[in-house]
């Protein structure tokens, strides 16, 4: 079963987007953060829904 993924910052579907990234929250390591290539490029903020970590900063 494929989970639909949305960018954590702009909420764009990244299912078939090239250059998007997925990584675990650097603070709690529990939540998976998803970012599209665009938000990665402009360094858009993301936040962890589990521990409220906000990055990248």
Residues at the interface with Zn ion (CB under 5 A): 7, 9-10, 12, 25, 27-28, 31, 36, 39, 48, 50-51, 53
In the complex, least distance from residue 48 CB atom to Zn ion, rounded to whole angstroms: 3
In the complex, least distance from residue 50 CB atom to Zn ion, rounded to whole angstroms: 5
In the complex, least distance from residue 39 CB atom to Zn ion, rounded to whole angstroms: 3
Does residue 37 sit in helix, strand or coil? helix
Say how far apart CA 14 and CA 18 lie, in whole Å: 8
Say how far apart CA 13 and CA 34 lie, in whole Å: 10
């Amino acid at each position: 079963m494929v989970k639909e993924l949305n960018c954590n910052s702009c909420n764009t579907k990244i299912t078939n987007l090239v250059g998007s990234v997925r990584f675990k929250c650097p603070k709690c390591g529990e939540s998976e953060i998803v970012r599209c290539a665009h938000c990665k490029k402009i360094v858009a903020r993301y936040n962890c829904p589990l521990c409220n970590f906000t990055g990248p900063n």
